[in-house]
Structure 1
Amino acid sequence: MATLIVSYPVVEGATFDRDYYISRHIPLAQSAWGEFGLQSAEILFPAAGPQPLAGMVIMRFANQSDIDAALASPKTAEVVGDVPNFTNLTPQIFRAGD
């Protein structure tokens, strides 16, 4: 199994609409990348108090080639283009190996 983690490091003046992220953005990503083997998406938000991240999602694929195909898809532009609708933060992407 291969993992794609997208996190949103907090900076001063950060905004992050959790409701939009859960109800619109993650379903958009699942729709865009489902055909490329996206198996699951686990959303995590920080506990109360100062934290380094506003949120993150852990996306599971069968292998790294599926992640490559998903990210190379034209549908990825729509997913990335949706980010300003819920945050002013720059997403950070991390891949964990098979």
Structure 2
Amino acid sequence: MSTAIYVSYPRQEGINFDLDYYINTHMKLVEKHWGPHGMKSWTIVQFDKDDPSGQNVQCIMLWTSMEDFEKCFALGIPEVHEDLKHYTNGMPVRWTGKVVATGQGPY
């Protein structure tokens, strides 16, 4: 079963976040370096300013397995990990979980 990795950037006073850079530059680096290691897809969600979650932006990545994600993350690819300073002065929070079901309605 696939693994979902959630990387969230909380909305906090004094924290800047460059969404354009994140989507158009950082995520291209992520695709380039992590795609070959098992990342299947990514989605970016921007929360409304009054959303009660306190989150600003969240990246949801689907991976082939938790093991593939852990191996890739352990590589510590500098081009990906050191890019944080180019789009935010905050620190992300990460959650992981197994995908146990998916669906698509007749929308």
User: Is TM > 0.5 for Structure 1 vs Structure 2?
Assistant: yes
Question: How far apart are the structure 2 equivalents of 1:73 and 1:18?
Answer: 26
Alignment equivalent of 1:73, drawn from 75, 80, 86: 75
Q: Give CA-to-partner distance per residue, 1:7-33, whole Å, 9 cap, x none.
A: 111221110001000100111111110
**In structure 1, what is the equivalent of residue 61 of structure 2?**
59
Contact kept, 8 Å, 1:15 with 1:89, in 2: the verdict is yes
Give TM-score, length-normalised by structure 1. 0.90
Q: What letter corresponds to residue 64 of structure 1 in structure 2?
A: M
Q: Give CA-to-partner distance per residue, 1:17-53, whole Å, 9 cap, x none.
A: 0100010011111111011110000000012435511
- State, as a whole percentage, how many aligned pairs show the same letter: 30
**Change in 2 beyond 3 A, CA 1:74/1:14:** closer
- Match of 2:94, SS state, is strand
**In structure 1, what is the equivalent of residue 94 of structure 2?**
93
Question: How far apart are the structure 1 equivalents of 2:49 and 2:70?
Answer: 35
The RMSD of aligned alpha carbons is: 1.4
**In structure 1, what is the equivalent of residue 27 of structure 2?**
26
Which consecutive residues of structure 1, in runs of 5 or more, have no partner in the other structure? none
Greater helix percent: which structure? Answer: 1
Question: How many pairs align?
Answer: 97
Give TM-score, length-normalised by structure 2. 0.83
Shift of 1:56: 0.8
